[in-house]
Chain A
């Protein structure tokens, strides 16, 4: 498809396990964003990529969270030693360019439940 693709759509894991969430942006979009959507908390910014580099990692909540992007395309968000408070929907978005106004195109999200 032509939209932003995220996988898995649902992930249930046990506390303490590591998880990887994948985002495949729209082809040609140089900017990629990860947000977290928790109940009643709105969208919390996590990290932003321009190409393969991440000029802004300020939103990552702890050092258990990391993300990478390879080939200017697919991005992976990794959460190590998951905690129950990590339960949320993780949304990925991409845009044509991150330096000027550009509409963000969102994926449907990966719902993470930590038991």
Chain B
């Protein structure tokens, strides 16, 4: 079955880079996502990567995908206090119903 694993906490200093890691088990995953949840709010899609890609960059965000190891990472450059949130990794397969499987979420705490 599908399983997505993430570490629960990450603490960084403002201005440093943050790297949030995720592993998944389903080799047929087609799309992999990062969602962000700010306190008291619902999840919001931050970025995604298609399984035939190795890297995707979007401003301060860099997503790296290692299909062999089934490892996904999200790097946030120049981390700001406003980046403090819970980050969820998720996967899904194309075809059939699209039901993302989410990890437990990584709480990112940014210290000034």
A and B bound? yes
A96-B48 Cα distance, complex, nearest whole Å: 17
B10 within 8 A of A: no
Q: For chain B, what secondary structure do more than half of its interface residues adopt (helix, strand, loop), or is it mixed?
A: loop
**A42-B8 Cα distance, complex, nearest whole Å:** 10
- Which listed residue, A35, A42, A55, A107, touches B103 by the CB 8 Å rule? A42
Q: A41-B104, A45-B99 are in contact. Are A101 and B94 (CB under 8 A)?
A: yes
The answer to whether B104 and A42 touch across the interface, beta carbons within 8 angstroms, is: yes
Question: Which chain A residue shows the least CB distance to B99?
Answer: A48
- Contact of B45 with A by CB under 8 A: yes
Check B101–A104 contact: CB distance below 8 A.
no
Interface 1/0 per residue, B77-112 and A, CB below 8 Å: 000000000001000101011111111110000000
Judge if A50 is at the interface, Cβ distance under 8 Å.
yes
Q: Which residues of A contact B43 (CB under 8 A)?
A: 43, 91, 93, 104, 106
Contact count band on B: 20 to 34
Question: Given A50-B97, A56-B97, A56-B99, does the pair A106, B31 have CB atoms closer than 8 Å?
Answer: no
**Number of A interface residues in the complex (CB < 8 A):** 29
User: A100–B102 Cα gap in the complex (Å)?
Assistant: 18
Checking B4, B40, B44, B98 against A100 with a beta-carbon cut-off of 8 angstroms, the contacting residue is B98
Nearest residue, chain A, Cβ from B98: A98
Please tell me if the beta carbons of A48 and B42 are within 8 angstroms of each other in the complex: no
In chain B, residues 11-34, which have Cβ atoms closer than 8 Å to a Cβ of chain A? 30-31
How far in angstroms is the closest Cβ of chain B from A92? 8
Q: Please give, as numbers and ranges, the residues of chain B lying within 8 Å of A40 by CB-CB distance.
A: 8, 104
- Taking CB atoms, residues of chain A closer than 8 Å to B103 are 42
- Which residues on B are within 8 Å of A, measured CB to CB? 4, 8, 30-31, 35, 40-45, 48, 88, 92, 94, 96-105
For the complex of A and B, list the 7 residue pairs with the smallest distance between their C-beta atoms, beginning with the closest. A106-B42, A42-B104, A43-B102, A106-B43, A103-B45, A108-B42, A98-B98
Known: A40-B104, A98-B99, A101-B48. 14 other contacts (CB 8 A): A4-B42, A31-B98, A42-B4, A42-B104, A43-B105, A45-B102, A55-B97, A91-B42, A93-B43, A101-B31, A102-B98, A104-B35, A106-B43, A109-B42
